[in-house]
Chains A and B, each alone.
Chain A
Amino acid sequence: DTAVSQTPKYLVTQMGNDKSIKCEQNLGHDTMYWYKQDSKKFLKIMFSYNNKELIINETVPNRFSPKSPDKAHLNLHINSLELGDSAVYFCASSQGQSSYNEQFFGPGTRLTVL
């Protein structure tokens, strides 16, 4: 199936740990995004990469570091996890970084920090 996939689907961890979430798309897109959906269901963009280069960084703490090994993958590494990091993280992709392009979303990763 052509899609945006994320692993893991669920992640439960202790405060202070470091964790990574992986995202892959096989749609042939060159732009990928990370969004965060908080407990109030509000979705906000965190990062955007185009052809492995950072395009958008929306005032996200330095503990969050995206890594794009190639244009089909955008992973999110989080250091020193805090309680407030608990949320659902969505990966998305589009063809091109133009604002005209439709975005396709992955199924989300629910992160719970205890």
Chain B
Amino acid sequence: KQEVTQIPAALSVPEGENLVLNCSFTDSAIYNLQWFRQDPGKGLTSLLLIQSSQREQTSGRLNASLDKSSGRSTLYIAASQPGDSATYLCAYAGGTSYGKLTFGQGTILTVHP
């Protein structure tokens, strides 16, 4: 059974902190892993996509890494801001999934001023 676990389930930090969100998955044959942001009552915004051949991707203050051998990905957010407050979801496409994404349950991030 394909599973994705995200830790922590919730995180509250003061503005300016650097933080790490963790994602672990059971499928060793992943094709890619995506990190998404979901704001309350809104859709999913794709933040970063890491292909299976890559180790990390960066976009602005965000950096995502992928370690297939250990089945882990981390999302690093530098100098957090209140506007970063949202739910962060990781999802992977693996095996013969024909594009099917398997999602974790997300980390709810609150950045307070």
Contact = CB atoms under 8 A, between A and B. Distances in A.
Contacts of B46: 102-105
A107 B42 contact: yes
B81 interface: no
A41 B43 contact: no
Contacts, number: 74
B93 A99 contact: yes
B100 A41 contact: no
B89 interface: yes
Interface stretch (B14-22, B60-68, B70-78, B101-109): B101-109
Interface in B86-100: 87, 89, 91, 93-95, 97-100
Q: How large is the interface on B (under 10, 10 to 19, 20 to 34, 35 or more residues)?
A: 20 to 34
Contacts of B95: 99
B77 to A, nearest CB: 20
Contacts of A35: 101
